[in-house]
Amino acid sequence: MIWTRKHLLDIESLSVEELATLLDTAMAFKSVGERAIKKVPALRGKTVVNLFVEPSTRTRISFELSEQRLSADIIDFTAEASSLKKGETLKDTARTLEALNADFIVIRHSASGAPHFLSRVLDAHVINAGDGAHEHPTQALLDMLTIREKKGRIAGLNVTILGDILYSRVARSDIWALTKLGAHVTLCGPSTLVPKSFERLGCRVTHRLEEAIRDADVINLLRIQHERQRRSMFPSLNEYVNLFGLSKQRLALTKPDAMIMHPGPVNRGVEIDSDIADGERSVILQQVTNGLAVRMAALFLINGGGGPQAVAV
């Protein structure tokens, strides 16, 4: 297919064909990452601003390395040392960056909809690197790439997302991607963090952990997003660990080949036992590696590159 989108703002609006093109192009970039010379000239002469107004380790570094591999000029914007601290609006900051000829703005922001807003007021391409509790599209893409690589398919798999669904942008993007690609999605966690209303997105909702993990081919664990919760959503962390933490005893109840995922950052000993996070069923670090290929693919396609067949440059 010919890629026509100017921005990558969410997974919700992408077609199955667009998702497949992103994943196939990412696979082609994985081979580039295995070459002696890992750099391609696809974004030579283009300027990318990484506008991270909320903390990030994985996404920020992964975008930066992807942009370097595509030969872009990069500006890393540090919110703490910027005029945002003096009361400048996001719109004025972004338009200032555009006036310096930025071609791409990669934005992470605590406000849901911030990337969509920028896409309406700027001429530059906008990529959402996580907006509030709304979406985190490149995380979902790297999750899909990892599942497809490890399991050979996504359609028909039972995927359980366990933890704080309500405040998670990763959960929302994963739900859109998984349901579009034909997986059966189960959501589990405390009823305050996993409301039944999520069934409207085509998921099964249960508050019983054993039921959620028993038939799962993939278990994706999410941390408690304390930074977005305005009140306590469960009595204590201990109670959460007792009811919903993935312990070794609970892992023993799962299918022997059930794969364990986590977008990070991991709160060891809370949503996941430390040994499981480091164990042979965990693909947490493969997820990080795949993030690079997925972000290269997104930048490449949005810049007007062809599909996977055009990557061999």
Q: Which of 21, 25, 47, 59 binds ligand CP (CB under 6 A)?
A: 59
Does residue 58 belong to the site contacting ligand CP (CB under 6 A)?
yes
Give CA–CA dist 139/153, Å, rounded. Answer: 18
Q: How far is the CB of 130 from ligand CP (least distance, A)?
A: 6
Q: Which of 13, 15, 31, 57 binds ligand CP (CB under 6 A)?
A: 57
Does residue 265 belong to the site contacting ligand CP (CB under 6 A)?
yes
Q: Which of 25, 93, 119, 139 binds ligand CP (CB under 6 A)?
A: 139
Give CA–CA dist 118/90, Å, rounded. Answer: 8
DSSP 118-158: HHHH-SSEEEEEEETTTB-HHHHHHHHHHHHHHHS--TT-E
Q: How far is the CB of 312 from ligand CP (least distance, A)?
A: 30
Three-state DSSP at 76 gives strand
Identity of the amino acid at 54: E
How many chain residues interact with ligand CP (CB under 6 A)? 11
Does residue 220 belong to the site contacting ligand CP (CB under 6 A)?
no
Q: Which is nearer to ligand CP, 18 or 135 (CB)?
A: 135
Per-position b or e across 147-177, b if 16+ CB within 10 A of its CB: bbeebeebeebbbbbbbbbbbbbbbbbbbbb
Q: Which is nearer to ligand CP, 263 or 305 (CB)?
A: 263
Does residue 130 belong to the site contacting ligand CP (CB under 6 A)?
yes
Q: Which is nearer to ligand CP, 131 or 273 (CB)?
A: 131
CA 210 to chain centre: 26
Identity of the amino acid at 12: E
Nearest to 186 by CA among 167, 171, 168, 173: 171
Q: Per CB under 6 A, which region of 56-64, 114-122, 156-164, 212-220 contacts ligand CP? A: 56-64
Chain residues that interact with ligand CP, rule: CB under 6 A: 56-60, 130, 136, 139, 263-265
